[in-house]
Structure 1
């Protein structure tokens, strides 16, 4: 088992709790015998080839072909304020730390067409041996103080406390005797050592944490260190540690709250053996139920059980129809083609075949077939040889027409599908007989060099229900499967127009206009690759893009727009030129405006 704990790239070099958590979680995973990595380097994560990815913050979406469990240990109110639901909804599973978070997940996923996992996870610490505190000095408070004014008056009043955290967050304690003590290393040891040396740890939560009963890292750290815990009115801490901890009433004003803390410290010093027994009891509870080793083992077990149940759910139909995936290539980038075909080979779905549409010389096809046979001997591949240079539209629609399976998909020669792509989409298609197209989300990957404009090397590019086809509602060509018998007759039979690009987008628009049913899987199951150097990629130059756009608009407009004012005397071969195509569209546009004006005049009278 290979596990990645994914950190936030934008936070690199900035002190934050997730950095310490990542280190601890790697330690816990290694104790359990797993291979583990904590990183924000997306290319490094990809090379690691994880089985499970655990994003440590809800702003990180699923972007790898691995079971992704998002850590939902932040308050639900904070997640709601973030508003980028695509990122949160993209997870395969959710590690929740409270009932409010679990309810939020249920609301977000209620209309999802596929199962999802809910498991328990807390921002905890590693298992330790109990070390009884030898001394009880000033209580220790450790915090990044991201809400800078939280308890400011309280900390300003206190005379007997040691505070640790980022210096710029605690400036108001600068120069205060016995107050701010500096920053601690994120090394998995320093935090626990400070608590243990003092013998007393203070855990205060943000109001939103207390409102939802969510614990921070601090109660677990204090329990792991063997120190006596003084906490605020957090329901989780009360429920789990009970009378083994001391509590502050944060509804009191700052002066009264400071006095209450001093009373607790005095009681500890006067009842040291009883205090040590309380610390020991907290440590035992922590080790038995809440150490990261215990929690992570539970998460992995839940993932394994869920996978078994999900596979049974997605394949529990009486029949398993064949799926044919069309791959167009000229054979020039063989390594990328083999990568694409290998992603087909790795499909969990049992009946998937690849149909390669090859344009090029016969000898080159023979060589390519031999390469594929050697590299992927277990893959079922058929071939169609397109003789001569043909445009992308001809390849696309000839490839579509040459298929025989009842379900069809596409895969560009330099892109991939995730291992559960066909299983997920077919599970939905087979349970929704009225569905014609089922599609998933897509990840954009920059494969070489540094991406332009500071873009991430990997990002969740498309993940949304499509209501019409706009630039912001895009279905990539490798992200869907279509029920073949729902494809309109004309798409499979009419003479194919020349198209340099946009042929795949046109196909989906034709289906959409035919009012077939589209279903979004709410799963990320594919990735497409971009390159800073465009060599070998399917991006076309501006003229070709414009030609594809004009051809697509003309095809789509022809079924609904009046044509009587278009000059029918134009020779067919000239209409195929880009300039005259624009003239045709201009005539259609003018005709449309004229009809609209006539209708408006009629309505006035």
Structure 2
């Protein structure tokens, strides 16, 4: 079992809690015998070929063809404030840190057409051997103080307290002698040693954490260290550790709160044996139920069971219909084509055929067939030679018409589908017989060089409900399957118009106009690969894009469009003439040689 704990790339050089958690989770995974990696490097993660990925923060969506479990230990307002719901919805499973977080997941996944995993996971620490505190000194509070004013008056008022964290976050305490004790290394151990040496640890939470009953790392660290815990009214802490911890009423005014802390310290020092018994009880609860080793082992087992159940459900379905994935290729980039075909061979759905639509020479197609046979001997594949079909529109619709399967999809030769793509789409199509098309989310990947400035190597680029179909970026051509019987007659029978591009977008728009039922799987099941040297996904240039847009607009133009009857409105021919003249004038500014080319095209 290979596991990745994925950090936020933008935080690589910044101290943050997830960095500490990552190290602890690595240690837990290795203790359990797993091969583990902690990284924010997307290329390194890709080369590692993990079985499970844990994004440690909601800033990171699902980005790989790997079962992805999101760590739900941040309050809801933070997800809302950062508009990160798409990231969170993209996960295959959820490790939740509170009852309210579990209800949150149930709510936003309630309309999802496919199952998901949900299991407990807390921002905890590693199993330790109990060692009772040797002394009870000033209580220790450790925090990054990202909410600068949180408990500020209390910390200023408290007389007997030691605080650790980033210096710039605690500047207001530097003038108060002795309270601020400096930073602690993010090494997975130093925090526990600091608590243990003091004998008393403070676990104070942000109000948003308390509102949703989410514990921070602090209660687990204090329990693991063997120190006595003094906590606020966090529901998780009170429910789990009960009378084995002492509590502060943070609703009190800062002066009263500081007095309450002093009372607890006096009680601990005057009842040291009882205090050590309380610390021991907290430690036992932690080790038996909440250490990262216990949590991680349980969650990994849950993932294994979940995947096995999904596989068994698919295998138990009788008479599965066939699926064809059309792959358009000119044979020039064989390595990319083989990669695309390999992603088809890896499908967990058993009845999938690759249909290569080849637009090169006949001899080259024979060579290609032999190369594919050697590379992918187990692949179910057929070939169609598209003689003289040069434009993308003809290739697309000819390929669609040449299929025989009940369900059809597309895959460009330089893209890939994830291993469960067909299985996810087909599960929905088989459950809903009215559905014409099911699509998933797609990851945009830059390859063959460094990505453009400001871009990450991978990002969740296309992930939206049908409500956003007309406004948001299009559904990528490799992200969907369509039911053959729901394709309108004219698409499969009328003469095909020439289109340099936008042919796949047009297909979706024609289905949408025909009131076909689209369903969003809410799963990421494909990757849309962009070549850095081409600055995009294909060889499309501005002229091709303009031609494709004009052609698409003509095809989709309503038969009773009001402008046809308006006064002083030029007909289509004149509109096209005006567009052509604009292009000629633009060419004059850039390259005189293009003028003759445009004129020749016009007079043809």
Tell me if TM exceeds 0.5: yes
Shift of 1:389: 5.7
1:556 Cα offset (Å): 1.2
Separation (CA, whole Å) in 2 of partners of 1:564 and 1:58: 50
1:371 aligned residue? 371
Deviations 1:235-294 (A, max 9, x none): 111111111111112122111111111221122222222211111111111000000000
Alpha-carbon contact 1:429-1:438 (below 8 Å) kept:
yes
Residue 448 of structure 1 is matched in structure 2 by 448
Contact 2:58 2:84 in 1 (8 A): no
Displacement of 1:43 after TM fit?
A: 1.6
Secondary structure of 1:523 counterpart: strand
Shift of 1:309: 2.2
Distance 2:565 2:315 in 1: 55
Equivalent position of 2:593 in the other structure: none
1:517 aligns with 2:517: yes
Residue of structure 2 in register with 1:546 after alignment: 546
8 Å CA contact 1:469–1:509 kept in 2: the answer is: no
Q: Give CA deviations for 1:378-398 in whole Å, capped at 9, x if unaligned.
A: 001100012246111111111
> What residue is the counterpart of 1:237 in the other structure?
237
Matches of 1:331 and 1:540, distance apart in 2 = 18
- Paired residues of 2:213 and 2:234 also in contact (CA < 8 A): yes
Q: Which residue of 1 aligns with 2:474?
A: 474
For residues 528 and 56 of structure 2, what CA distance do their matches in structure 1 show?
25
Cα deviation, 1:55-85, whole Å, max 9, x if unaligned, reads: 1112221111111111111123333343332
After superposition, residues 423-572 of structure 1 pair within 5 angstroms as: 423-467=423-467, 469-470=469-470, 472-534=472-534, 537-557=537-557, 559-561=559-561
Counterpart in 2 of 1:596?
none
Q: How does 1:249-264 map to 2 (within 5 A)?
A: 249-264=249-264
Map of 2:321 onto structure 1:
321
Distance 2:442 2:72 in 1: 23
Other structure's SS at 1:474 match: coil
Aligned position for 1:224: 224
TM-score by length of 2: 0.92
Which residue pairs with 2:600 in the alignment?
none
8 Å CA contact 1:326, 1:400 repeated in 2: yes
Equivalent residues in 2 for 1:46-195, closer than 5 Å:
46-195=46-195
1:12-70 CA-to-partner distances (Å, cap 9, x unmatched) read 22221111001111111111111111111112111111111111112221111111111
Q: CA deviation at 1:453?
A: 4.0
Normalising by structure 1, what TM-score?
0.91
Give how far 1:495 is off.
Answer: 1.3
1:523 Cα deviation from its structure 2 partner: 0.7
Match of 1:602 in 2: none
- Farther-moved stretch of structure 1 (291-300 vs 362-371): 362-371
Distance 1:9 1:139 in 2: 35
Query: In structure 2, how many angstroms separate the alpha carbons of the residues matched to 1:47 and 1:549?
Result: 39
Secondary structure (helix, strand or coil) at the match of 1:276 reads helix
Measure, in 1, the Cα distance between the counterparts of 2:132 and 2:536: 65
Residues 547 and 578 in structure 1, CA contact (< 8 A), matched pair in contact too:
no
Q: CA deviation at 1:330?
A: 0.7
1:589-600 alignment runs, 5 A limit = none
Look up the SS of the partner of 1:83 in the other structure: coil
Q: State how 1:6-25 maps to structure 2 within 5 Å.
A: 6-25=6-25
The alignment partner of 2:297 has SS state of helix
CA–CA distance in 1 between the matches of 2:498 and 2:218?
65
Per-residue deviation, 1:451: 2.3
Aligned with 1:201: secondary structure?
A: strand
Cα contact 2:248–2:260 (8 A) shared by 1? yes
- In 2, distance between residues paired with 1:249 and 1:474? 52
**Which consecutive unaligned segments of at least 5 residues does structure 1 have?**
567-573, 585-605
Aligned residue for 2:404, secondary structure, equals coil
Task: Compute the displacement of 1:160 (Å).
Answer: 1.7
How far apart in 1 are the matches of 2:327 and 2:159? 72
Within 5 A, what are the aligned runs for 1:571-582? 580=577, 582=579
Q: Which residue of structure 1 lines up, in the alignment, with residue 602 of structure 2?
A: none
Offset at 1:578? 11
Distance 1:581 1:510 in 2: 27
Q: Rate the CA distance shift 1:77–1:100 in 2: closer, same or farther, 3 A.
A: farther
Mapped partners of 2:59, 2:535: distance in 1? 33
Task: State the 1:449 CA deviation.
Answer: 2.6
SS of match in other structure, 2:340: helix
Give yes or no for contact 2:444–2:460 (8 Å, CA) kept in 1: yes
Please list the CA deviations of residues 174-198 of structure 1 after superposition, one character each: whole Å capped at 9, or x if unmatched.
1322211111111111111111111
Local SS of the residue matching 1:521: strand
Structure 1 contact 322–405 (Cα < 8 Å) conserved: yes
Q: In the alignment, which residue of structure 1 is the partner of 2:303?
A: 303
Q: Identify if the C-alpha distance between structure 1 residues 21 and 563 changes in structure 2 by more than 3 Å, giving closer, same or farther.
A: closer
Listed as ranges, the matches of 1:267-416 within 5 Å are: 267-313=267-313, 317-388=317-388, 390-416=390-416
Separation in structure 1 between the aligned mates of residue 295 and residue 204 of structure 2, nearest angstrom: 23
- State how many pairs are aligned: 576
Question: Displacement, 1:538?
Answer: 1.8
Say whether the 8 Å CA contact 1:550–1:582 is kept in structure 2.
no
In 2, the alpha carbon distance for the partners of 1:578 and 1:537 equals: 30
| CA pair 389-517 structure 1, distance change in 2 beyond 3 A | closer
CA deviation profile, 1:98-156 (whole Å, cap 9, x unmatched) = 11111111110111100111110000001111112112111111001111111111111
Distance 1:177 1:440 in 2: 58
Greater shift, 304-313 or 23-32, is seen at 304-313
Moved more, 512-521 or 406-415: 512-521
Instruction: Report if the CA contact (8 A) 1:160-1:178 is conserved.
Output: no
SS of the equivalent of 2:132 reads: coil
Corresponding residue for residue 600 of structure 1:
none
Structure 2 portions without partners, runs of 5+: 567-571, 582-604
CA contact (8 A) 2:69 2:95 kept: yes
